[in-house]
Structure 1
């Protein structure tokens, strides 16, 4: 079976590698254009491009697939991409975190199968892992679906569940779902190859949307409950990194434990910052937080016991 693969980040690269190592013929990979990254802001290829290039798989990086784009450059690139797809011999396209919208003109060429990191119809959209953790979901999973024009609305081919642990971060859940999704899509493509698959419509109830994460929402508000703040810290680890200001300095918070004990102190007040108690902060909406991993600007991520050696917090308040 010949599969065109479309994806960009590490989540997608795991699936590409698994499909490739499982023996599927991959005549073409689509991925987003190289982006500036790192301190030098040099152009960096996506994780998917890196794997494809290392394994001799042809790569295309169009700015868009929408031939009706009002941007002449994007429309021209989309037309070239469409011509490339129609001239390539393939049976199906597998899509995983590609980052570009697939228009009807692309969906109509051959079946498009999507790997989505949630239990659809919950958390359709761009950031399903972040939003599941932020909302306090007890579980998540992967849905393999056939794509249609709606946002993650297509019929489901396979769905598997994964519990979210009380200390799981987006990074940790991402890695688990990437491995799970890769195994699942191989299973689905084998069934499609044999003509024995079944597509089930998504339930009409339980639809939620996972909006793209903005850096602005990673600023913590200690007037919220400790439980909500703790979820945000886990949800925004590793990106974009939850943060709060203390004494005029923006501190990134990478880990925290929720404590049930309430405090009469103002929200954000540091209640303790020592080797015995750790860093404990009052929360306005109930409970308090013990911060376990922090990072000051230009510094390394440090355990709380090491952080306070170079940044005393006694008597200070997070805002």
Structure 2
């Protein structure tokens, strides 16, 4: 692990999605010079349309920072930088970079819990009541580096992924600036049980009505939960739990769906090929009658 210099002024920044933009701006606002931004390649980010640059690529261009899609370019830039910061870059960084450039990785969980691609999503799905931010030394092994600092925060019982993501990003920015101003020193090994945050897939978002309403509500909080109605996909964008509801699993009675424990009251939905609607408006337009079965 390459040591950091006593004074840190110039940085290479690795990041790709929108959540990596705020830390980049925070570093620039704090007076650090970002000499190079390494980001994921341009790709199609909408269903229809041309390839578009990543959020970090756009922000870097606005800030006058050179951009590359080649991580090996960071090794070439090492002589002109004191270290690197990595925030949701999306790819492993090889020894060709790590051997010449010390790096701090910002990870959105309390490591070693939820190593991997989707720590915030997995924390919500698991019903965790606490999460946080970890700043660690980057090593070859995914999310296994020793820790410089961690900060914990509660997860609200109704907090959505969008809301939690914003809070954790806001928490990470001053933490990162403070660490770099002092010069990263003496990281300590991670301790505790390792859990893995695999990438979220469609099956993770499919609502199984043969489960308790509280568990299904966690899926809805991720923002893209779905079920089926008469063979067509129906996204459940917002919902709430009604513990007193009794009804067969999957049976939609009014706006409340039965589960194995309580009911899930639909608040906002999106039918296939349609715009998102308040659940009541959707229900009236769909002319479903008094009751129908979801998951069919």
CA distance in 2, matches of 1:222, 1:147: 41
User: Given that residues 19 and 169 in structure 2 are in contact (C-alpha distance below 8 angstroms), is that contact kept between their aligned partners in structure 1?
Assistant: yes
**Match status 1:266 vs 2:248:** yes
User: Given that residues 36 and 74 in structure 2 are in contact (C-alpha distance below 8 angstroms), is that contact kept between their aligned partners in structure 1?
Assistant: no
In structure 1, the partner of 2:22 is 14
Q: 1:291 aligns with which of 254, 266, 276?
A: 266
Kindly state the Cα deviation for residue 82 of structure 1 after the two structures are TM-superposed.
5.6
Q: Secondary structure at the match of 1:154?
A: coil
Unmatched segments (≥5 aa) in structure 1: 66-77, 274-278
CA distance in 2, matches of 1:189, 1:302: 46
Q: Secondary structure at the match of 2:217?
A: helix
Q: Secondary structure at the match of 1:38?
A: coil
User: Given that residues 137 and 146 in structure 2 are in contact (C-alpha distance below 8 angstroms), is that contact kept between their aligned partners in structure 1?
Assistant: yes
Give the TM-score taking structure 1 as reference length: 0.86
Q: Secondary structure at the match of 1:33?
A: coil
Q: Secondary structure at the match of 1:200?
A: coil
CA distance in 1, matches of 2:266, 2:245: 16
**RMSD of aligned Cα (Å):** 1.5
Q: 1:84 aligns with which of 76, 83, 107?
A: 76
Equivalences for residues 48-127 of structure 1 within 5 A: 48-62=56-70, 65=71, 78=72, 81=73, 84-86=76-78, 88-127=79-118
Equivalences for residues 223-242 of structure 1 within 5 A: 223-234=210-221, 236-237=222-223, 241-242=224-225
In structure 2, the partner of 1:312 is 287
In structure 2, the partner of 1:280 is 256
In structure 1, the partner of 2:202 is 215
> Deviation per CA, 1:209-258, whole angstroms, max 9, x where unpaired?
10011123222111111111111111x31xxx110001222110011111
User: Given that residues 247 and 316 in structure 1 are in contact (C-alpha distance below 8 angstroms), is that contact kept between their aligned partners in structure 2?
Assistant: no
In structure 2, the partner of 1:246 is 229
CA distance in 1, matches of 2:48, 2:232: 24
CA distance in 2, matches of 1:56, 1:95: 19
**Match status 1:35 vs 2:11:** no
Unmatched segments (≥5 aa) in structure 2: 1-8
In structure 2, the partner of 1:5 is 13
Give the TM-score taking structure 2 as reference length: 0.92
In structure 1, the partner of 2:238 is 255
> Deviation per CA, 1:164-187, whole angstroms, max 9, x where unpaired?
111111111111111111221111
Q: Secondary structure at the match of 1:42?
A: coil
In structure 2, the partner of 1:143 is 134
**Match status 1:162 vs 2:145:** no
Deviation >3 Å, runs of 4+ = none
CA distance in 2, matches of 1:161, 1:267: 37
Q: Secondary structure at the match of 1:289?
A: strand
Q: Secondary structure at the match of 1:175?
A: helix
Kindly state the Cα deviation for residue 153 of structure 1 after the two structures are TM-superposed.
1.0
In structure 1, the partner of 2:120 is 129
Q: 1:189 aligns with which of 180, 195, 219?
A: 180
Distance 1:183 1:82, change over 3 A: closer
